[in-house]
Amino acid sequence: MRSVVGPLDSGRLALVPLLLAGAALACGGGVEPTATPLPRPTQRPVATSTPAATADNPDPTARPSATPGSQNTAFTLSAQPYEHPSGAFSVRLPEGWENDEKDSSIFVTSPDDVVAIEISFINVGQEFTEDVLFAFIQSVEDNWFATFPNYEPGDIEPQTDGSYGIYKTLELASGTPQTVFSYYWQLGTVIYEQDFWVDSDAYDQYVDGLLEVANSMTTDPEAGAEADVYAIVYTFTGPNDYFEFNVPFGWAHQQDSTDTTIVDTFTSPTGETFIENLTYDDGQPVDDPGALARQLLIDTYGVDDLEVTDEVPQDDGSVRMDWTSAAQGLEGETFYEARDTAFLLLTWVAPGDLRDLYAPVWSALVDSYGLPEAEEPD
Task: Tell me the per-residue pLDDT of 47-82, one tens digit each, with 9 for 90 and over.
Answer: 233 334 444 444 433 333 333 333 445 799 999 999
* 82-83: strand order across its sheet: 82-83, 89-91, 218-219
Eight-state DSSP code of residue 18: P
Report phi then psi at 42, rounded to 5. Answer: -145, 165
- Please tell me if the domain spanning 34-224 has the same topology as the one spanning 233-368: yes
CB-count exposure of residue 243 (10 Å: 0-12, 13-18, 19+): buried
Say what the pLDDT of residue 160 is.
85
Domain boundaries, the chain: 34-224, 233-368
CB-count exposure of residue 317 (10 Å: 0-12, 13-18, 19+): exposed
Rounded to an integer, what distance in angstroms lies between the CA atom of residue 221 and that of residue 212? Answer: 21
Rounded to an integer, what distance in angstroms lies between the CA atom of residue 80 and that of residue 100? Answer: 18
Say what the pLDDT of residue 240 is.
87
pLDDT < 70: residue spans in the chain: 1-73, 374-378
- pLDDT tens-digit readout, 264-321: 999 999 999 999 999 999 999 999 999 999 999 998 888 899 999 999 999 888 999 9
- Whether 241 and 137 have beta carbons less than 8 Å apart is answered as no
Q: Give the long-range contacts of residues 89-97, CB within 8 A, separation 24 or more.
A: 89/43, 89/119, 89/121, 89/192, 89/217, 89/218, 89/219, 89/220, 89/224, 90/217, 90/218, 91/44, 91/119, 91/213, 91/216, 91/217, 91/218, 92/212, 92/213, 92/216, 93/117, 93/213, 94/209, 94/213
Say what the pLDDT of residue 180 is.
95
| Domain range 34-224, its CATH number among 3.40.50.800, 3.40.1000.10, 3.30.9.10, 3.40.228.10 | 3.40.1000.10
Look up the CATH superfamily of 233-368: Mog1/PsbP, alpha/beta/alpha sandwich (3.40.1000.10)
Neighbours of 112 (CB within 10 A): 10
Helices (H) and strands (E) in the chain, counts: 5, 21
Say what the pLDDT of residue 161 is.
85
Rounded to an integer, what distance in angstroms lies between the CA atom of residue 325 and that of residue 294? Answer: 12
Say what the pLDDT of residue 73 is.
52
Predicted structure pTM score: 0.79
Query: Residue ranges of the alpha helices (H) in the chain?
Result: 130-143, 203-215, 221-224, 289-301, 355-368
Neighbours of 149 (CB within 10 A): 11
Return the closest-CA partner of residue 225 out of 364, 360, 362, 126: 126
Tell me the pairing of strands 319-325 and 307-313: antiparallel
Eight-state DSSP code of residue 223: H
- Whether 132 and 252 have beta carbons less than 8 Å apart is answered as no
* 233-237: strand order across its sheet: 34-37, 233-237, 244-248
Q: How far is CA 219 from the centre of its chain?
A: 20
